[in-house]
Structure formats: structure tokens, C-alpha cells
Structure 1
Amino acid sequence: MSRVASAASLQLLQTDSRLDSRPRPTNHTTPLRERVTAMAANSDVDAVDVVIVGGGPTGLFTGLLLQRLGASVCIIDAKPKSLDLGRADALNARTQQYFEVAELLDELLPLGLKCNTSSTFGDGEFKSRQSEWWVSLEHALHKNFLMIGQPVVEEILSNKLRGFVHYGEQAVSVTEDDGAVEVVTSSGRRVRGTYAVGADGARSMVRREMAVAFTGTKPEMLWAVLDTFIDTDFPVCPEIVTFQLDGQARVSWIPRERGMCRFYVLLDGEVTQARAEDSIRKHLAPYRIEFKKTEWYSTFDGMSASPERIASSFISRDGAGRIILAGDAAHVHSVNGGQGLNTGIADAFSLAWRLANAVTNPNMKAGAAGKLIRSYDIERRSTAQGVIDVAAALVRDTVRPAKTYVGTIQKNAGYITGMGVSYHDSNSPLIKASEHGIWKAGYRCPDVILESEAKGSTRLYTEATYGKYLVLFIGNHQHAGLGHEDVAVPYQILPLDESEAAQTNGHTSENGTRATNGTTSKSFQAAWVRPEDSIVVVVRPDMYVGYVGQDAESCKQYLDDLYN
């Protein structure tokens, strides 16, 4: 049985006995026992729920989330191991929220550097300092970039997926039929899954096999990038500094972890490390700078960063297929604004719960899995276009004064922080137009402060569990009969002075749960809840508001549209 099942499948069978008897939706995937039997008949094929091509942050995060939700995964990556140097350098505020819900942020915070100020420097002095677009963020804890290298993020994710990531294997083909997808690698490995995710970068083989258009424009600019340690008398500060020289903003300095510095340098003509370093010296004048050790030098051009392109569909077969694109395989843009890794992480957070529902939830209604997957395409493609537009504006402003460049950042802070990305006008079937105060369908769920007798002061994102809907009963509600306990967690949030009402309407246990009319919910109080409030909010597993209603029945209907 050496190749009857992949390491992922074997571990899944050995460690989770529930899977042998758990009912699986026959219209989405074959039951696990039948699948293993089929593999035994053909010992050359590995079988999992989802095959992921690409072991960068997008693919790894998708795989980790899927695995935690009970789906088996196999990740194929051509690199010999996780990334050593270079690539992305910052996690924005929204990405930090995603990692918090995924219980990863606590590992990353001590390794990074917080930064929420952008400065401009020219003619030997600082011209401006601006952090308003960060500090003005509402209902958010992490009002900053976390400056941390992509290799650190990849290593943490990869270590949690040992045995499930196959490095040093190039995926050479991906094919699909009505029931499954098969990926073949350069080593001859064949992996069959219910779905496949193409997270294999800008030159994506998966996207080519899907035969979808990948169109856009390419600004004629070539950037040098250096990750380096320096010796300087420049007043070093944990700020992103844009340098102006001769009326243009061609050098940016990004503070990094371990005392490292990243420089982006726009050059005309031949682009070399020596010319990039010379340009940095000129922009920092009259201060001196010496480059002690450069860990990574590269250029961004061609397919790597400068084009602005988006796939015509993120799903095969015109939206009806089983192959799905994410990250740079679906969209590429310039490095300006630090949105590459962050957009890919958002793709993963948006996609994983949908796929997990499709392959593990026996209570999905007929056609609901397709609806979930199509809504990913609708929402994330519209978001990707917005990201591309912002990055394009920033690229073109590098040849203008630094004040103009920083002004463009401020204007588009919603995308750069990640906190302004919304789906309210995307025509997504998972957004039901509605709002009440801070709760707006299609917008990010606010990270509100909650109070609990058991835990004291806490926050909603701390309490959230990835993969579940949150149904927030704000005010006094009778919510027995909501149902959908397998996919939704009810929260009762009362006014802060309503302890007497809480005792009247239900019983709160020592662990913070509360029984009301036979229904168990998490119980909290909050200073922002008014005595007259009476609303119910459905928060999707990706922490976007799906619907805001006045009663449990309307929210139940929202879930009834997808689940039996």
C-alpha cells in the first residue's frame, strides 16, 4: 500500500476515526472509504479532497485552513523547500485579523516590526509624516503593518503542514472531469481530488491549463529591490520613507525585522545592484549610508510584478468547474502598496471555508456548493481589480513628487490597510443587502469589544472560530429554532447593564455559554449595545457580514438558502 494513499490521506485515516462513518454529500465528493478502495485498485494515484498547486503563502494557508476543517489536502510545489529570502515584506491590518482568527498571529507578532507611519524626505530633511489612515481605523486592534518577510510566514505555515507539502515536484498537468480533478507532477506522482487550487504564481501552469484569459497592461518600469543591513547616520525610524529627488519619488525605504532594511529603487536604463545602491546614496544625501550585507537583490519586471493582469475567471469551465485560482495565479500587479501577499492571504481565507463546506458538509443543499464557489469568483475578482487599480496609480506616481505619491496612498488606504475592501456592490449571492449602524452586509465585520463574566474584556475576533458562521443576537432576543448548529455559532450580546435581563432570559455558565429556550449560545455584554437595540447579524466564516436582520427567522432563511 506504498502509494495507495498520500501522507495526507494516511494521517487523516489514522487520526480521525470519525471520517470512516461521517456521511459525505454524494453530489460533491465520493465517501472516503469508497475513495480509498478506488485508490487501492490503482496504486499509482493519490486521492485527497483538495489538490493545491503552489506552496507559497496562498497555497499553504489554504491547505492549513482546509485541513483544520476536516478536508484532506496535498500541496505540490516546485521549490526544493519553503522560501529562504526575499519576496513580500508586510502584513496589513486585515491580514493580521485573518491570522488571529486562524490562531497564527501570536507566533508572528514577536518576529515582526510594527509600522504605521509614512514619511517623505527630500532636500536633506523630512517633508511630512502621516499615519492618519492607520490610527483612524475603527473597530480594529492592529492599526499598523506588521513588517515581516514572506520566508518567515512560509516557514511557519509549512512547519504546520509537514507531510502534506511535496517540495521539489513541478506540476506538469491538471485535468478535470465532471467528478474530480487530477494533477500530474514531474516525478510521475498523480493526485486526484474533488477540487484543485492553482496558487502557483504569476506564470501559473494551472491557469494556462484552464485556458482563461490573463489580460492587462504593463507599465514600462523596472524596479530594483534590496534586503540589506546598513550603517548610516540617517535618523533611522520605524517608518516607511519615500525619498524625493529632482521632483520624483524613486526610492522607498521599508523597515524590516532583525534590523534589516528593504529598498525599492526605480531606475532608468540598465538596472544593477551597484546602480541601485548609488541611487539610494543620492536620495539620502547629505546623510551617508554603507551597505554592510545584502541578503537578497532582485528586480521586478516582466511577469513578476510590473504587469497589471487579472484572470477572466478564477474558476474553470466558465465558473462551473473544479479548478480554482488564487493569489498571483489569479491576479498580478506592482509591488507598490504591499498588497501582493495580503491579497493572496485574503483569497485563501475567502476560499478555504467554501471548499470545506463543499467536500465535508452533508447538509449542503443541491447546487449550494456551486453557489459558494461561484461567489468566491465574483467577490475576489472584483477585489483583485480594485487592488490592481490602486497599485497602478502608485506605480505611476513614483515619477511625481513624494507628496503626490503619499497622497495616493492616503486616498487608497482602504485597500492598503485591507480594512476598506468590501463586497457590498459585487452582486454576490452571499450578500443580502441590509444594514444597521456599524453592521453592513458586504463589509468587514467590526472587531468589537465584548465583556464576559467568565473572561472579562475580550474581542469578537478573539472569540471567532474559522469555518463557522457567527450569528450575533444583539439585544434581547428569543432565538430558539435558529438551527444550523453544524455551521453557525450563536452569540448573545446584551447591554452592559443587562445582567438582570440575562438571568431572566437564560442561564450563563462558567465558560461563558448561555442556554436560552433550549438553544446554547456564547453570552457577552457590551458597552456599545443600547437597551433598545434588537438586531441579528449573520457574519460569514471569512468575517464579512452576510446579512443584518431584526429577528432570528430572517437570519435562519439566509442560512436555509444554503443548508438543509
Structure 2
Amino acid sequence: MSQTDVLIIGAGPTGLTLALWLHKQGVAVRIIDYAEGPSKNSRAVAVHARVLELYQQIDLADELDAFGYPLRASNIWIDGKHYSTVPLSDFGKKLTPYPYMLMLSQEDHEKILENRLQSLGVYVERCTKLKHYVEHVSKITATLVRETDRREVIKVICDASWIVGCDGARSIVRHEIGADFEGETYVPLFYIADIEAGPGDCCNPGFNGEAHIRMLGDKYNVILPFSNGKRIRLIGTTTPEDYKEKIDLSTPNPQLTFEDVEPEIRAVTGIEIKKLHTFATYRCHHRIADKFRKGRAFIAGDAAHIHSPVGGQGMNTGIMDAVNLAWKLAAVIKNPGMSEISQEKLLDSYEIERRTFAINVIGATDQGFTLLTSKGFWPYLVRQWLLPYGVPIVTKLEYIKHQIFRRGSQLVCTYRGSHLSEAVSGWGAVQPGDRLPWAKLDSSDNFSSLHHIAWQLHVYGYPPTALEKWCIVNDVLLTVIDWDPHHGKVGLRKNAVYLLRPDQYIAGIFEGRSVNSMLDDYFSSRELTY
């Protein structure tokens, strides 16, 4: 029998991030995974700006940057003809310290997260899975099954205050809480291949260090680069019915070999594959659980929602789930005097905030993928006219580029309307619930104080009288930044007090002589500690 605050099932990026954020806040965690190590056949390769901003909070962003490869351009090919190159380097300019999509294999991503955990004394328990759990009034009791080197099975009992399922699309925790997994399976069969450039491939445009979107009829293929284009990831679709003599179409996940689809890959991409590292085919779904929580159990990441691969949104959404849930669990665990009503409202806000965002992401990625791969007049119009002719034109406009980047990089995520967002009227583009906008001046930026998983205050201009004393008494970090006209351009208001949640979202915007009492009311009404 062992005991912990939070038992995490699954050591993918979502589970590892959750463990890191909880441990950093002084919460005891135990994390298990049935795999022997990080996933070698992973599908996720894109790390978006919002996740890098959150990783900056624990000094992890630079390490990912060192291993990853910033994507600088994307090319559009239709029926074998190159139509345009869209430069991506300035899409996120002035919006974030990380104005790019970072290409990094999920295997390397997980290794970086797990190494950081190990440096803090937290180790993933491998070859271990959850069999079931029982919920009691103040804890859960989980039965774990562990396989030894000799493949002997050992049963382990673990008590935990909370359990979080980050255990993927076939989540045991999701099954245990009785959540429906609503959605559909896409008709096309996906394939994924990691390919290394061979002799003579330097002249092939697929290895030029840029992304390539290739359409051939209703076939869809994306080439994503690693390491200056020396290694690429191919993600594509094929029609299962074309291989009905080789595969059983009645199975949930029919398998094709690389030799089966190589002629099709060659036809779509023009690449003669000489060095193949990994290859797999899989069914893709768009689904979302009808609830993310029941009692002392939560689900996050792929256990709660799965997406089409368009835009690389799935893993990033799961990581943001973990950061959102971590500070709320920590707030409840570290404040045993919080009333049950306040605990429930705080923990329920996880599902309210994250499920709403996941629904929006799934809707957008599903619509995009359907337009790219379906038959019919409108999908044909998108593929043959909008992609080759419209995209290069509209992406020359700064406003369009910024909107595309905001949505694709999840900077657009907002929690407006949450009970944690203090309602105000009369504010402009930036409101409670929004991400704090990035404001870069010549020698500094306003994100430099965000290396703390804690509540804090920002003031751009002059803080109200006695605010500094309030912060000292309550041990809350106050950052005062001299006002600059650029702050107004990004939506910040002069002399206003911005209350930031531990996950860097704006909880409230206050101004006037009674700011101290407003802050006291915010925390006392929710029974939150500083």
C-alpha cells in the first residue's frame, strides 16, 4: 500500500506536464505508464507558441528550442504542381516570444519532460497499468498491475486523494467515470512515416527544411521537416477501399504495409524513399468526452478529446489541459480549510474551461480536414482554387497572418465567462479570462516575471496607493512596468491592476482607490489562497 496526493495514469506529454506542474507546486504525485519508454511511433510533432510560453514558466522552453526545428515556410502543391511558398517566420511576430511552430518528435518531447521530472526526484513507473479504482469519501484506492522483467504480474494498491487519466483514446479512467466519447471516425486511412534523406535527396524539394502540403485529387499529404530537413515526417491519407483485397475493412484499424502505399506516396510527393525509420497506418477520429470529471477522477489530453491531425492541435490542447488542472488541484490540496462548495466550483471550472475550448478546436480541425479530403464541389473549390491562389494573397495581410497564428498556436484560448474571471464592463479587446498579451519593448518584455506558478499582479504605469503594502502582507508578486504606448497597442490599460492566475490567464482587471478591497473580495468569495 502506498499513498500520494495525485495518481496520474499515462506518461505522454499531458501526464508528464501535469506531474511537473503539480510537483513544482509542492504536490506529491505518482505517475505510471504501461509502455517501457517514450513513444517511438508517435504522431504529434508540432509544439505551438502557447505551450512554449507555458514551458517558459518552468524554464523548459529553451531546452525544447535546442532540440526542435522552427518551421519557417510552407509550400502548396496541387496535382504535382508547385503553386506558392508561404513564409511563416513573421506570422507570429509581435505576438509572442515564440513566433513559430516548433517541430519536435513526441519521443524527444517526452524524453525532455521525463528527464526534467527525474531531475526533481519523480520517476515514471513503467510497465504498470491501472486495473480499476474505487472512490471513497476522501480518497480513491487504485489497483495497479505491474509486469517485471520476467513478465511476472505484481498487483500494487495505491491510495490517492485524486486520480487523473492521461491514458489516451482507450482511457480506463474515462471508462470508469462513465463518460461517453462522442464523435466519428474519418473514412480515409492515415499513414505516417519518418524518412531520412539519402544520397542525392538534397535536390528534392521535400528535404529543403520547409513544410509541404500536397494534394492529388482527394488525397492529402503533408511533409514536415526535422533537423534542417535531413529528416522528414510524412502524414497522408489513402482510401481503404483501394486495398480491399489486402486488408479486412471490417476491422476497426486495418493495417497496410509501407510496400502497399509506397507507389501512392511516390505519386503524391515525388519522393523516392531510401531510408525509412518508422511507418504505421491508423484510423483517425474526432471525439470528445461528455464530461471531464466525476468525483475525485479527471481525464485530460487524448483521454478527453481526440482530433484530426490538421494543425497539430491535439497534443498542445492536452498539455494546456494539464496546466489548467494542475494549479486547481494544488489549490484544493494545499488549502484543506476550503469549503466543499468552493472546492467543487474550482474543480468544476476545469471541465467548463477546457471542454469548451476543446469543442472549438475539434470543430475547426474537423471542418478543415473535411474540406481538404472530401469529394464534392466545395472541397474541390478549396483544393483547386482557394489553396493555390487565395492563400498566397490573403496571407500577405498582417491582420490575416496574425489571426491565423493566434488560432493555430492557441494564443486565442480564453476563459471569459468562467467564475474565475471577474466580470467587468467597459473593457476593450483584453478582458478577464484572456491570456496576458505579450508586450516587447527594446530591452525587456512583460513575460519576464512569469517564472512562477502562483498568483501575481501586473501594473503598467503607476500602482494604486497601498497596493505594494497589500502585496507584501499577502506575499503576492507585484510587477510594475513603466507605461509605454506599445502597451496600449496590445490592449493593456494604463495604471490598471491585472490579477494573473497561476496559469498566466487574467483573472481580473481592477482600477481605482478600492483595488485592495476588490482583490480581497475576489479571493475571499472563492476561498482561494494567495
- Under a length normalisation based on structure 1, what TM-score does the superposition of the two structures give? 0.78
Alignment-derived partner of residue 165 in structure 1: 124
Alignment-derived partner of residue 431 in structure 1: 421
Alignment-derived partner of residue 299 in structure 1: 281
Alignment-derived partner of residue 444 in structure 1: 435
- Write the letter of the residue equivalent to 1:244: M
Distance across 2 between alignment mates of 1:334 and 1:532:
39
Residues 322-331 or 353-362, more deviating: 353-362
Distance across 1 between alignment mates of 2:487 and 2:412:
24
- Write the letter of the residue equivalent to 1:291: I
Paired residue secondary structure (1:216) = strand
Paired residue secondary structure (1:433) = coil
Q: Deviations over 1:47-98 (max 9, x none)?
A: 0110001111100110011111100000011111222343311101111111
Tell me by how many angstroms 1:405 deviates. 6.0
Paired residue secondary structure (2:344) = helix
Paired residue secondary structure (2:17) = helix
Change (3 A) 1:485 1:237: farther
Trace 1:144-163 onto structure 2 (pairs within 5 A): 144-162=100-118, 163=122
Paired residue secondary structure (2:292) = coil
Q: Deviations over 1:144-197 (max 9, x none)?
A: 110000111111111233353111011111221220112211131111111111
Paired residue secondary structure (1:143) = coil
Tell me by how many angstroms 1:549 deviates. 1.7
Alignment-derived partner of residue 34 in structure 1: none
Tell me by how many angstroms 1:447 deviates. 2.0
Trace 1:366-405 onto structure 2 (pairs within 5 A): 367-399=341-373, 400=379, 401=383, 404=386
Unaligned stretches of 5+ in structure 1?
Answer: 1-44, 452-456, 498-524
Q: In the alignment, is residue 250 of structure 1 matched against residue 199 of structure 2? A: no
Paired residue secondary structure (1:449) = coil
Distance across 1 between alignment mates of 2:338 and 2:459:
24
Match of 1:57 among 5, 13, 16: 13
Alignment-derived partner of residue 104 in structure 1: 60
Paired residue secondary structure (2:128) = coil
Q: In the alignment, is residue 230 of structure 1 matched against residue 197 of structure 2? A: yes
Paired residue secondary structure (1:86) = coil
Change (3 A) 1:389 1:134: farther
Tell me by how many angstroms 1:529 deviates. 10
Trace 1:390-539 onto structure 2 (pairs within 5 A): 390-399=364-373, 400=379, 401=383, 404=386, 413-424=405-416, 427-434=417-424, 436-437=427-428, 439-449=430-440, 457-476=443-462, 477-478=464-465, 479-480=467-468, 482=470, 488-495=476-483, 533-539=494-500
Distance across 1 between alignment mates of 2:90 and 2:162:
38
Q: Check whether the contact 2:185–2:285 (CA below 8 A) recurs between aligned residues.
A: yes
Tell me by how many angstroms 1:383 deviates. 0.8
Q: In the alignment, is residue 185 of structure 1 matched against residue 167 of structure 2? A: no
Q: Check whether the contact 1:350–1:542 (CA below 8 A) recurs between aligned residues.
A: yes
Alignment-derived partner of residue 76 in structure 1: 32
Tell me by how many angstroms 1:546 deviates. 1.5
Q: Check whether the contact 2:80–2:269 (CA below 8 A) recurs between aligned residues.
A: yes
Distance across 2 between alignment mates of 1:141 and 1:251:
30
Distance across 2 between alignment mates of 1:198 and 1:484:
38
Q: Check whether the contact 1:548–1:555 (CA below 8 A) recurs between aligned residues.
A: no
- Residue identity (%): 28
Distance across 2 between alignment mates of 1:531 and 1:106:
27
Paired residue secondary structure (1:276) = helix
Paired residue secondary structure (1:297) = strand
Q: Check whether the contact 1:496–1:527 (CA below 8 A) recurs between aligned residues.
A: yes
Alignment-derived partner of residue 291 in structure 2: 313
Distance across 1 between alignment mates of 2:326 and 2:187:
36
Tell me by how many angstroms 1:412 deviates. 6.0
Alignment-derived partner of residue 220 in structure 1: 187
Q: Check whether the contact 2:430–2:492 (CA below 8 A) recurs between aligned residues.
A: no
Change (3 A) 1:296 1:488: farther
Match of 1:194 among 161, 165, 168: 161
Paired residue secondary structure (1:394) = helix
Tell me by how many angstroms 1:134 deviates. 5.8
Distance across 2 between alignment mates of 1:137 and 1:484:
36
Distance across 2 between alignment mates of 1:532 and 1:230:
51
- Write the letter of the residue equivalent to 2:140: V
Alignment-derived partner of residue 11 in structure 1: none
Unaligned stretches of 5+ in structure 2?
Answer: 146-153, 244-255, 374-378
Distance across 2 between alignment mates of 1:392 and 1:178:
40
Distance across 1 between alignment mates of 2:16 and 2:434:
26
Tell me by how many angstroms 1:557 deviates. 2.4
Tell me by how many angstroms 1:402 deviates. 6.3
Change (3 A) 1:244 1:531: closer
Change (3 A) 1:97 1:251: same
Alignment-derived partner of residue 263 in structure 1: 234
Q: Check whether the contact 1:494–1:526 (CA below 8 A) recurs between aligned residues.
A: no
Q: Check whether the contact 1:470–1:538 (CA below 8 A) recurs between aligned residues.
A: yes
Tell me by how many angstroms 1:344 deviates. 0.9
Q: In the alignment, is residue 204 of structure 1 matched against residue 171 of structure 2? A: yes
Q: Check whether the contact 1:199–1:328 (CA below 8 A) recurs between aligned residues.
A: yes
Tell me by how many angstroms 1:237 deviates. 3.0
Q: Check whether the contact 2:56–2:451 (CA below 8 A) recurs between aligned residues.
A: no
Distance across 1 between alignment mates of 2:323 and 2:473:
22
Alignment-derived partner of residue 31 in structure 1: none
Distance across 2 between alignment mates of 1:530 and 1:149:
35
Q: Check whether the contact 1:495–1:529 (CA below 8 A) recurs between aligned residues.
A: no
Tell me by how many angstroms 1:254 deviates. 0.8
Q: Check whether the contact 1:473–1:492 (CA below 8 A) recurs between aligned residues.
A: yes
Distance across 2 between alignment mates of 1:377 and 1:156:
28
Q: Check whether the contact 2:471–2:477 (CA below 8 A) recurs between aligned residues.
A: no
Question: What is the count of residue pairs matched by the alignment?
Answer: 474
Alignment-derived partner of residue 272 in structure 1: 257
Tell me by how many angstroms 1:393 deviates. 1.3
Alignment-derived partner of residue 516 in structure 1: none
Paired residue secondary structure (1:96) = helix
Alignment-derived partner of residue 149 in structure 2: none
Q: In the alignment, is residue 290 of structure 1 matched against residue 246 of structure 2? A: no
Q: Check whether the contact 1:230–1:290 (CA below 8 A) recurs between aligned residues.
A: no
Distance across 2 between alignment mates of 1:222 and 1:326:
26
Q: Check whether the contact 1:181–1:322 (CA below 8 A) recurs between aligned residues.
A: yes
Tell me by how many angstroms 1:211 deviates. 0.8
Change (3 A) 1:395 1:272: farther
Q: Deviations over 1:421-475 (max 9, x none)?
A: 2222xx3111123374553212111122368xxxxx3333332134212211222
